[in-house]
Structure 1
Amino acid sequence: MEMNLKLSASGLTDIGLHRSSNEDSYFIQKDTYCFLVADGMGGAAAGEIASRIFADTAAQLIPQSGNQSESNTVALIKKIFLTANKEIRSHILSTPDHSGMGCTAELLLFHHNGFALGHIGDSRSYRLRNGKLTRLTKDHSLVQNQVDQGLISKEAARTHRLRNVISRAVGIEEKLEIDIIRGRYLTKDLFLLCSDGLTDMVTEEVITKILLRRESLQQRTATLIERAKTNGGRDNITAVLVEVLP
């Protein structure tokens, strides 16, 4: 059965203002309803390799038909994460200088009945619906754990000096715990996948205002990147927008 789903998408990545290399990767393939953002870590270009391994793994494993049931889609997401985890760890074994490399990842797939989203790390995924922005993911980070325990406020977390210390990443450990978020899509839903280089620099209130603009997806994607740079651009910045069309 063919999927009667039309999507529009735009992606952009930028090195930012303070980094010597871009360790982010993104992937857009509308024909197979696959979209992702990965943010590398590890330095010495190793983070760039890790995020690219994740993106390449998804590209290789996604079936060209794109006609998946919900259960098959969830199984595919897990397979991509686990395969990428294994590939990154194999790379580290062959290149010990890259020890400690890994990546965060957001992987969004659409299926007959809705969408499924795989998430690890502190990159984020959002959905804009009827003018309201909802964060679909929870950061796997030291600061988020402190927020959950009531030790610090959400406002304090934004500027905490340890806000970039993450508790989960692809490639760091042999066993991988993946968050899977499932849901239904509606016409005009707008999904945002992004690295923390965006959300550390731009508040969710400002992100919402930009996404609500009557501009093309490409213009809004570029505006998100430029706003992050205007506000400091301390990290690499990547954003992917996916809109469900009538």
Structure 2
Amino acid sequence: MTLELYCATDVGRARDNNEDSVALDESVGLAVLADGMGGYNAGEVASQMLTSFIKAELGRWLKEAGSAAAVADVRRAMDICVDNANRAIFNAANTNPRYAGMGTTLVLATFREGHLLLGHVGDSRAYRLRAGQLTQITRDHSLLQEQLDAGLLTPEEAVFSSNKNLVTRAVGVEDAVMLELHQHEVQPGDVYLLCSDGLSDMLDSESIQQLLLSYPSLSEAAQALIDAANDMGGKDNIAIVLARAEGRTRQGGRAWWPFGRKQ
């Protein structure tokens, strides 16, 4: 299989600055997305610190480890990298008054041979489009999700909830953070979407699915999603990462995964 990656951000229609950040390292199948929070420009600082740190540190580890690295070792490297980034952001927030209280969500995708290791913190999301069907493959760390899980709200009521943007877990707000991490099988033709809530709050799953199915290129699909979110009000910054797996298993052998953009 080959992996094609594309990312984009947009300030939206209601904000003056962009607190969303994305980073890719196609050579190792790495994608990072963060949505910052905090006063002044602190949210922007937190998200950029996180994506830059993970791209540099985890990207270097993945290059050195190579494709033969065991899944358990990659998972441990992801955990350690996020923990180190969390401490760096937490320390910055506690030593610079301008950054007090800053933090950020995270979605972290590491594509390996035939599978995806997906980690997240907060309410930024990941979806998978497979055989024309879109599925959300992360579960928000938010007060709203807890209320839904407890049966205190219906999905219809949740659309109008005032608790939409209250996260229960974020990177940098405490001296430790738990990365929720899961492994997913990757099949040829899969498309993966990582996004901030600037997209998912504006568009429902059906609308996202239809747009992803309507555009043949990742860049066109990303722009269509951003335009649609802005047309619905663009109430927040919008960040998008799209990844598409193409190819087939070698005849009589195991799946192969040369990293990098599809030619």
Please say whether Structure 1 and Structure 2 have the same fold, judged by a TM-score greater than 0.5: yes
Q: Distance in 2 between matches of 1:44 and 1:154?
A: 33
Match of 2:207 in 1: 206
Q: Which runs of 5+ in 2 are unaligned?
A: 248-263
Q: Distance in 2 between matches of 1:195 and 1:34?
A: 17
Q: 8 Å contact 1:70–1:114 — kept in the other structure?
A: no
Amino acid at match of 2:181: I
Q: 8 Å contact 2:87–2:176 — kept in the other structure?
A: no
% identical aligned pairs: 37
Match of 1:139 in 2: 140
Q: Distance in 2 between matches of 1:54 and 1:231?
A: 29
Amino acid at match of 1:157: A
Is structure 2 residue 49 aligned with structure 1 residue 53?
A: yes
1:21 to 17, 20, 30: 17
Q: 8 Å contact 2:24–2:55 — kept in the other structure?
A: no
- 1:112 is displaced (CA, Å) by 2.9
Give 4+ residue runs of structure 1 displaced > 4 Å after superposition.
none
Q: Which protein has the larger Cα radius of gyration, Structure 1 or Structure 2?
A: 2
State which drifts further: 74-83 or 140-149.
74-83
Q: 8 Å contact 1:40–1:47 — kept in the other structure?
A: yes
Q: Distance in 2 between matches of 1:113 and 1:82?
A: 26
Q: Distance in 2 between matches of 1:9 and 1:104?
A: 21
Q: Distance in 2 between matches of 1:227 and 1:55?
A: 25
Match of 1:11 in 2: 7
Match of 1:84 in 2: 85
Amino acid at match of 1:120: V
- 1:214 is displaced (CA, Å) by 4.0
In angstroms, what is the RMSD of aligned CA positions? Answer: 1.2
Q: TM-score, normalised by structure 1?
A: 0.95
Say how many residue pairs are matched. Answer: 242
For 1:162-177, what aligned pairs fall within 5 Å after superposition?
Answer: 162-177=163-178
Q: Distance in 1 between matches of 2:199 and 2:157?
A: 17
Q: Deviations over 1:158-210 (max 9, x none)?
A: 22111101100000111212110111100011000000000000110000001
Q: Determine helix, strand or coil for the equivalent of 1:197.
A: helix
Q: 8 Å contact 2:191–2:245 — kept in the other structure?
A: yes
Amino acid at match of 1:40: G
Match of 1:116 in 2: 117
Q: Distance in 1 between matches of 2:49 and 2:80?
A: 14
Q: Determine helix, strand or coil for the equivalent of 1:176.
A: coil
Q: Deviations over 1:207-242 (max 9, x none)?
A: 000111242110000000010000000000011100
For 1:174-185, what aligned pairs fall within 5 Å after superposition?
Answer: 174-185=175-186
For 1:66-77, what aligned pairs fall within 5 Å after superposition?
Answer: 66-67=66-67, 68-77=69-78
Q: Determine helix, strand or coil for the equivalent of 2:214.
A: coil
Q: 8 Å contact 1:27–1:37 — kept in the other structure?
A: yes
Match of 1:129 in 2: 130
Amino acid at match of 2:37: M
Q: Determine helix, strand or coil for the equivalent of 1:137.
A: coil
Q: TM-score, normalised by structure 2?
A: 0.89
